[in-house]
Structures are given as C-alpha cells and as structure tokens.
Amino acid sequence: MVLSLDGRWLYVMCEASDEVRVVDTQTKSVARTVAVGHMPRGIALSPEGTQLFVANSWDDTVSVVDTAQLKVVRTLATGFEPNGVMVDRQGKTLYVANRLSNDVSVIDLQSGQETKRLLAGRGASYLALTPDGKLLYCTHAYPKIGAHRTPPESEVTVIDTQRQEVIERKALHNVAGVFHIALSADGKLGVAPQLRPKNLIPLAHVEHGWVFGDSLAVFGDDVGGVVQVPIDELERYFAMPFAAAITPDKRKLYVSSSGSEAITVIDIPKMIGYVKTAHGPIANDLSASANYVVGRIPVGRNPKGLVLSRDGTRLFVANRLDDSIGVIDTANDVVVSSIDLGGRKDMTSLRRGERIFYTARFAFQGQFSCANCHIDATFDGLQWDLEPDGFGVDIVDNRSIEDLSGTEPFKWNGGNPNLATECGPRTEKYFYRSQSYNSGELADLVSYVMALPLRPNRYRLAGGELTPAQERGKAIFERTKYKNGKPIPQAKQCAYCHSGPKYTNQKLSDVGSGKPTDRSPLVDVPQLTDVAYSAPYLHDGSAKSMEEIWTIFNPHDTHGVTNDLQKDELNDLIEYLRTL
Amino acid sequence: MKSRLWFALMIIWIAVPLSAVTPDMPRFRWENFTTANGLPDNHVFNVLVDGKRIWAATENGLAVFEDGKWRVFTTADGLAHRAVLSLALDKRTGDVWAGTMGGLSRISAGRIDTFNQLNSGLSNDVVYGVAVQGDYIWTATAAGASRYNTRTGQWSLFNERNTPMYEIWTYGISVGPDKVYYAVWGGGVLEYDIATERWKDYNDPDGENEIVLFRDQGLIHEITTSVSYVDKILWVATYFGDSRYDGRNWHNFLTKDSGLPSNFTNQVKAVDANRAWFSTDKGLAFYDGTNWAVYRPNLKTGAPEMYVRDAEGNITSMATETAPAHNYVLAVDFQGDDIWVATAKGLSHGIRQK
C-alpha cells in the first residue's frame, strides 16, 4: 500500500486480481480499480504524487499509473520477478528489486531504459529510501547460498542514489528472510522485520526453543551498527513479521505479524534504551521483548502492509486474506474501523486453504505457519533437520511447492504418498507439535497447495523454442549413448528418471548423493519444473549450484552420465534445464 | 646591422635540426609500495585504478589502497585464490572483478562472490584476464574464453570448437565499443565482433618462426600476452616484440628498431590511437607516437634511470632520483596524469612532475 501525498487516497495492490484498488480514506470505500500486470507485489509513489509505480512480479515489468487518470500510461521492463520498487527524490530514477535475479534494476525514467543492474542479495524484494533521499536500502526474502550446514546469512544492501552504486552491505547473521524496512523521519533509525531460523537442529525441538525467532534488524545512528531485536515472548510467538511503520515523532514502532493476525506495538525509546544497556546480543532472549513491546493489536487475517497517515494518527493495515484494510487509532492502539476492498464474499475451499497456509495458529505456541518455510508459497532457501532422529541426520533441502500435481510421492524419501499425508499427520507430528487440522481444514489446505501455479520461466524464449545452447543441452539430456557410442544404461539416462510432464518418474532412486548421515541413499526423484530458481540442489542442499551436482557430487556417473562431457557441454545441459 | 641579423637567424635555423632536442616526455617521481608498507606480497601481477582507490593483484591476496591505507582481501574473505592475476572495474556499478589462479571473484561493496569451474560455467580456474562489456564479463582462461551474463547468470564458452582459436590458452582481453580482442598465448589475436557475434583471428604470417621475414607484414608473433584496443587501434604485446594495427596496416616494434627496452612484453596499454605504455622485463616504456621513454632501475647498478629515444634513435639520459620498484614490469593503469605500475618486486606510483 501507499498513501497519496494529501493522505486522501490509499493505493492498495491486489496481487490475486492483478489490480490496484484506490481507497478513499475519507469515505472508507474503494473509489476506483486500476488493472496492472500479473502478480503485483511492489508499489511506490512519485515525489509529486502524480505517478504510481507497480512491480508486476510475474510479468517482469513495472506499470506506471497516472494518478489523475488512474490508468497505466507506461510499462517498463525489469529483471526477473520484480518485487519492490522505489523512485528517487528527484523523480528521475526508478529502482526495482528483482527477487529471482537477485539484483536491483536502475531505470532512467526519462528514457524508460534500464541503465544498469546492481548486485543485491538473494531474493531481493523490498526497498526503502532514506528521508534525505541519499540512500536506498534493499532487503531479501531468501538468505544467501552459503556453505552447507552453516547458519544462514543475509544482508541489507545499501545503495548510494547519487552514485547509483552499492556502497555497503550490512551483514545479518543467522538470518533468512528479511522484509519491509521502515525508517524514522530523522533517518537515524531503520527497522527491518526478519526471520531467524533454527534449521541446524531437529525441528522436534519446537517445544524447547524455536523453529523461528521473529525479530527485527535495527540499525542506524540511534543504535550504531545492526542489532537484532526479538519480538516474540517466552511462550507466545508473533510469526512472520512482515512490515514496519515508525510514527513521525519516533515514539512508536508498529510491526505486522502476518502469521499471527496481530500488530506488535513497540516503544522506540524503550527499545533503544534496552538495546544500549543490554549485555551482549539479545536476539535469542525471549524475555527481552517485555522491555519494549507495549502492545499487541489483534487484526485481520494475514496482515502484511502497513501505512501511517501523514500525521501519524492512523495506521492502515492490509489484512490480505480478509480483503480489507484495518484502521488503527495510534493514540489508543485499537482498530477503529475496517475498509472492505470488495473481494469475493463466497468462501471457497482454496480461500480457506490459503488462510490455513498462512496462519501460525496451528503450531505449538503459534510459532510458525506453512508460509514460514514456503515464503509467498515458494521455498525458503534453507536446509532443515526435520525429524527427531538425532542431530544432523537426514538433512533435507526445502523444495518448491508450485505445480505439485503429478509429482507425488512427497518428502525426499518419498514417504508420503499424497499431500494429505504430507500436510496432515506429518505436519502435526514433526512440525507443529500440536493438534493440527481437522479433516475439513486439511482438505482445504491440500486444495490450496495443489492449486499453486508454476511461476513463469524466464529462460524459455517466447514461443517456446530453444536457443542453440539449449537445443544442445536437450540432446544431452535425452541421449541414450555415451560419446563413444556405447549405450548408457537406462537408469543412468537423465530423461529416464526425470521423465513425464514434470520431469519426474515419481520413484525413488539412488544417485550416489547420499551421505553417511542419511538413513537411506534412496531419494525421491524431484520434479525439474523451474529448477533454475531453487538452488541449492540435491536432497540435502549440498550442491550450491547446478554445476556442482555434476562437478562435485557425481564422480562415478551415478547421477546421470556427465563425466564424458566437456565443460561447455555441461553448460549446455544446464542451459536446457533452466528452461524446464 | 640588417645583414648580421639575417646571418644570425640563418645559423639558428640550420643548428636546430642538427643538434638533437630531447623530446618532452612525461617525468615522474616514483613512490613504491612493498610488504614493508602494507602490500600483502611484492609480486604484483596487475593494478587497477578505481577513482581514488588503487587495487593491487598480488600473489598473496587482493589489496586495495584507500585513504592512505591498504586493505587486503584473502581466501578467508571469499576470494577465489590467493594469487590474483587480473582486474577489471565495472564503471557503472563500481564492482571489481578479479581473475585468479583459482577462479573469478566479484567484489561488490566488500562482498566477494566467487565463480570457478566447479560451481559455475567458467571454463577454467586460471583466469589470466578479465574485462567488462556492459552486462557481460569476459574472461581469458587457460581453457579458452568465457562470457558471463550478469543479468541472467548464463555462461557462454568460446574455444577451439566454436572459434578460430587453435590454441586455447587465452591470456589477455581488451573491450571496445564494437569489438572484443583476445591475446591468445601461442595463438595470436582473436577478434569478436559485438554486432555480428563473429570471431576472426590474426596470426603471425611467419607462423611460429622466430624470425620476421617482412617487416610490418602482420602480427609480430603468435605468443601474445596482452591486447589494448583504444580509438579503434589495436595494440598487441608479445614475448617477441609488439604490434599496432589500425584495421589495415600493421606496425611492429622491436628493440632493434624502436625504443622498446625489451621484446619480452607482458602488457601493452594504450592511452589513445598513438600513445601506449609497454610493460617489459627490462623496464617500463612509453611511446608517444614518435619518441620513447624508458623508466626503470638501471639493469646493472639498480640506480634510478630514465632515458628518452627520439625518432632518429638519439638516446638522452634524463636526471631522475626515483624509479619504479623493479625492472620486471607486469602491468600499468592510469590515474589522471599519474601512473601505477605492477612489478615483480612491488607496486609503484608514478607521480607526474611535468
């Protein structure tokens, strides 16, 4: 969401309907609807308020909307999956955070041309401009791909808008997803909601500690450096913190917990004071929040975007899965009204399932939801120690859950024949550690997950034809003979295991990637659809890139025959795989 | 009175061409950096000027000089290998690309991402050369050329199977607005036309013979080490002399007929169509299109030395109190009128005096 300069209009992205709905904050109703591109996920207003910029994440474009006419007047090309957008103070340059190309597009608004790309972190998604316009911050949905079985690392990428260069990368240790940044009016305080996963210890320890720590990356002159501040309590969690807003007087900080249907209220002076007097890091101290959290405001389902009115007296909350905007009186921190965005009123199984997917209420102490690991219904870039079989045993890479039909069974060991088993008893036993879904809820959840579409593939040419390199790679993928002419055994042919429309034969196979800590060397043959985006690879995520699957983990041609390939032939194979 | 003046003018007019006037060549005061004042290693393979920052590719890490201090990046920071061979600056983003003995590293605001032949499409871990062409990163490796698309992450490899590259030991790269040139060690020069995406090779007409049958007939030698393409002029360094090519004609430089201090040239770096710097094993040389200047410690005494060779071959020794750190020069880069010089025993800063 973004508010017009006069505070009258609230522009709300509706990603499921590919629209921006224009809300009149006086009449508390939707005044207009503007059709934009597919899956809008980022929005920004020009300095004069005359143009809206909407990042269409599945179109790789930004729609430029004239706010007077309320229609799209221009469409700009971006990188892969634009998710965040911001225009500089002069209104001359547009910055776009691209989630799948892990960079920030710099677009000259006069020419409409992208002038350069700046290297960001993995899953670049959210942008915030400092009040003086000199710096732009970028945060990331996924952690960087690091050494196997090491704590996740993320960063806040800092861009100098005058030089249009990255000038700093604020390291965030033990952090995976990082979301919307809020900045104080004086520019001395920055806050980014973030996830601190405990993926290196068995998930069964959910009742002993956490699976995720919901926290904030706090930075700026007010605190010096970067401090990680928890928002959870000892026995109550506020899952998937997503957006933050700082009141103009810098007294209060609001944080949406999208998995917990709540807005956390933080007393900023208390938080800064506590941070400054704390003895050592507080990120893992669940008792810390009692020192600065002064309220929790119940709101609607899946609260995500937050916007404060210009005078700071009203906080608008996007209740994504209620299709409504909650209005909070910031003097008393209570919801005073709700604005209906006009979504469908009939409740489908898919809609119910989506609500279940995004809520943490089923997990022990409300710790996490499906969406914690499947961010925006994708993946989290992490490897997990899921089962109570000992530390470091059966490590598994988190897989994408798009377009799952025809990819059964589930789990890397193929132990779950269908999604109802995967999401029902397994989730209840190993994940949530609490009474899980009833049969109706489970059916709804399964319906929703099975209906998740496949995101567009960026490596396939329009029309579906292949480049020469991809054609050569396809021939390698489908080959049945070694280069010396001898037949390749069927089980070692790429296209044997990776067969069918999803490129899986839905069976178990030993490709030699098993580790001594795995209970079995047999792994489920994964689907290859959109495999380009889901690094790292192999069942335990030990291959940081597709190349490593074969250059490091296939010394004996047990995972397809690749050792007779030249380097450029291996590159061709990978080029083809990227198109699947 | 009038006739005496006319006679005096006649004498001056005659005397000027007869008495050699030393050409006005660049003079420098040299400041040298070694391990004694912050370099991680004295073996400096390459140098890159990045505004006020100076990057030094050494045998034991990548060093950057900023605000009077050296900061060193090592493999512990994510650098691909301790021995850094080549450097390139992406002027649009400020990122620095470093070719090493163990892969290619991208240094972006302090973060280092590394690409090698195991984790990426890079053709080989030994990266002798690197250059930036828009969104592409070109590398010269011990197994051919690689091109990385920074927007899509895709790699293109060029080798004996898809180019006229009969020898795949690529050594140096130079990128221009229309062409990319490769120095192929033992394989001459390769030219890539950006518009047509076609390759063309330039070779020594005398083959691998160590003799030059006809002067300026073509590329001076197959064992090329460096290329520099500026103002549509190609300069080529080899271990057996150097060449300049204007698209139609070749002009070759040898010690016997130029001011080159040695035919063994590690790098040529052009200033423009007519001027270039030559990094040789016997000193640093500058050619202004007519005259030559050589800067080095004296080969016998080690005393600072500068001399100038004019078009007629007259050599004039110039007074100097400083010299580059060593005779064995590997690379240079320009910082305004100043020059930075990578040598086998330290990095040198030539501070322009006039």
Residue ranges of E strands in A330-476 = 334-340, 383-385, 395-397
Q: What is the DSSP letter of A542?
A: -
Q: Which two tokens stand for residue A232?
A: 């959870």
Q: Would you state the pLDDT for residue B1?
A: 45
Out of B94, B152, B154, name the one closest to residue A165 (CB): B94
Residue B15's pLDDT band (boundaries 50, 70, 90)?
Answer: very low
Say if residues A547 and A538 touch (Cβ distance below 8 Å).
no
| DSSP string over B103-116 | EEEEEETTEEEEE-
Q: Nearest residue of A to residue B158 by CA position?
A: A568
Say if residues B171 and B226 touch (Cβ distance below 8 Å).
yes
* Nearest chain A Cα distance for residue B93, angstroms: 5
Say if residues A193 and A172 touch (Cβ distance below 8 Å).
no
Q: Nearest residue of B to residue A104 by CA position?
A: B151
Q: Nearest residue of A to residue B143 by CA position?
A: A567
Burial of B188 (0-12, 13-18, 19+ CB in 10 A): buried
- Angstrom distances, CA of residue A362 to CA of A139, A224, A333, A354, B253: 28, 38, 26, 14, 79
Do A169 and B109 count as a contact with CB atoms less than 8 A apart?
yes
Q: Would you state the pLDDT for residue B294?
A: 98
Q: Is B111 on the interface with A (CB under 8 A)?
A: yes
* Nearest chain A Cα distance for residue B150, angstroms: 8
* Nearest chain A Cα distance for residue B247, angstroms: 31
Residue B14's pLDDT band (boundaries 50, 70, 90)?
Answer: very low
Residue with tokens 């910029």: A53
CA B154 – CA B132 distance, rounded (Å): 15
* A248-287 exposure pattern, b = at least 16 Cβ within 10 A, e = fewer: eebebbbbbbbbbbbbbbbbbeebbebbeeeeeebbebbe
Q: Is B149 on the interface with A (CB under 8 A)?
A: no
Q: Is B116 on the interface with A (CB under 8 A)?
A: no
Out of A80, A103, A575, name the one closest to residue B154 (CB): A575
Residue type, A217: A
Listed by start position, the domains of chain B span 30-352
Is CATH 1.50.10.10 correct for A468-577? no
Q: Nearest residue of B to residue A155 by CA position?
A: B111
The contacts of residue A468 (CB under 8 Å, 6+ apart) are none
Do A168 and B110 count as a contact with CB atoms less than 8 A apart?
yes
Q: What is the DSSP letter of B37?
A: G
Q: Is B154 on the interface with A (CB under 8 A)?
A: yes
* Nearest chain A Cα distance for residue B55, angstroms: 17
Q: Which two tokens stand for residue B302?
A: 């080690």
Q: Is B76 on the interface with A (CB under 8 A)?
A: no
What residues of chain B lie within 8 A of the CB of A458, using their CB? 152
Say if residues B294 and B283 touch (Cβ distance below 8 Å).
yes
**pLDDT (tens place) for every residue of chain A, 580 residues total:** 999 999 999 999 999 999 999 999 999 999 999 999 999 999 999 999 999 999 999 999 999 999 999 999 999 999 999 999 999 999 999 999 999 999 999 999 999 999 999 999 999 999 999 999 999 999 999 999 999 999 999 999 999 999 999 999 999 999 999 999 999 999 999 999 999 999 998 887 787 767 899 999 999 999 999 999 999 999 999 999 999 999 999 999 999 999 999 999 999 999 999 999 998 899 999 999 999 999 999 999 999 999 999 999 999 999 999 999 999 999 999 999 999 999 888 899 999 999 999 999 999 999 999 999 999 999 999 999 988 788 889 999 999 999 999 999 999 999 999 999 989 887 877 788 887 799 999 999 999 999 999 999 999 998 889 999 999 999 999 999 999 999 999 999 999 999 999 999 999 999 999 999 999 999 999 999 999 999 999 999 999 999 999 999 999 999 999 999 999 999 999 999 999 9
The contacts of residue B4 (CB under 8 Å, 6+ apart) are none
Q: Would you state the pLDDT for residue A464?
A: 87
* Nearest chain B Cα distance for residue A505, angstroms: 27
Q: Which two tokens stand for residue A396?
A: 């598994």
Nearest to B62 by CA among B279, B92, B46, B52: B46
Q: Is the pLDDT of residue B287 over 80?
A: yes
What residues of chain A lie within 8 A of the CB of B92, using their CB? 115-116
Q: Would you state the pLDDT for residue B12?
A: 40
Residue type, A58: W
Residue B248's pLDDT band (boundaries 50, 70, 90)?
Answer: very high
- Angstrom distances, CA of residue B71 to CA of A14, A155, A203: 48, 22, 42
Name beta bridge partners: A178: A194
- Angstrom distances, CA of residue A186 to CA of A190, A474, B183: 10, 56, 54
* Nearest chain A Cα distance for residue B157, angstroms: 6
* Nearest chain A Cα distance for residue B297, angstroms: 39
Q: Would you state the pLDDT for residue A578?
A: 97
Q: Is the pLDDT of residue B210 over 80?
A: no
Listed by start position, the domains of chain A span 1-173, 350-450, 468-577
Same fold, A1-173 and A468-577: no
CA B119 – CA A563 distance, rounded (Å): 15
Kind and range of the H or E run holding B64: strand B61-66
Name beta bridge partners: A264: A255, A296
Nearest to A389 by CA among A430, A444, A331, A436: A430
CA A124 – CA A12 distance, rounded (Å): 21
CA A232 – CA B52 distance, rounded (Å): 46
Predicted complex ipTM exceeds 0.85: yes
Do B92 and A115 count as a contact with CB atoms less than 8 A apart?
yes
Interface test with A, best of B155, B159, B160 (most A CBs within 10 A): B155
Chain A residues interacting with chain B (CB cutoff of 8 angstroms): 79-80, 101, 103, 115-119, 155, 157-158, 163, 165-169, 458-459, 469, 544-545, 547-548, 551-552, 566-568, 570-571, 574-575, 578
Across residues B64-71, what is the average pLDDT? 96
Residue B134's pLDDT band (boundaries 50, 70, 90)?
Answer: very high
Out of A101, A115, A568, name the one closest to residue B157 (CB): A568
Do A575 and B108 count as a contact with CB atoms less than 8 A apart?
no
Residue B13's pLDDT band (boundaries 50, 70, 90)?
Answer: very low
Q: Would you state the pLDDT for residue A534?
A: 92
Q: Is the pLDDT of residue B213 over 80?
A: no
Q: Is the pLDDT of residue B229 over 90?
A: yes
CB pairs under 8 A between A and B: 79
Q: Is B136 on the interface with A (CB under 8 A)?
A: no
Q: Can you name the CATH fold of B30-352?
A: Methylamine Dehydrogenase; Chain H (2.130.10)
Name beta bridge partners: B46: B57
What residues of chain A lie within 8 A of the CB of B110, using their CB? 168-169
Residue with tokens 């920055």: A190
Do A567 and B94 count as a contact with CB atoms less than 8 A apart?
no
Residue with tokens 């998930």: A203
Q: What is the dihedral of CA A32, A34, A39, A43, to 10 degrees?
A: -80
Residue B50's pLDDT band (boundaries 50, 70, 90)?
Answer: very high
Residue type, A415: G
Secondary structure class of B351 (helix, strand, coil): strand
What residues of chain B lie within 8 A of the CB of A116, using their CB? 92-93
Do A571 and B161 count as a contact with CB atoms less than 8 A apart?
no
Q: Which two tokens stand for residue A73?
A: 């007047």
* A148-159 exposure pattern, b = at least 16 Cβ within 10 A, e = fewer: beebbbbbbbbb
Using omega within 30 degrees of 0 as the cis cutoff, is the peptide bond preceding A409 cis?
yes
What residues of chain A lie within 8 A of the CB of B52, using their CB? none
Out of A115, A169, A567, name the one closest to residue B111 (CB): A169
Answer CATH for A1-173 from 3.10.290.10, 3.90.1150.10, 2.30.140.10, 2.130.10.10: 2.130.10.10
Angle of CA points B289, B292, B295, to nearest 5°: 140
Do B94 and A163 count as a contact with CB atoms less than 8 A apart?
yes
Crossing angle (nearest 10°) for helices A567-577 and A468-478: 90
CA A462 – CA B56 distance, rounded (Å): 44
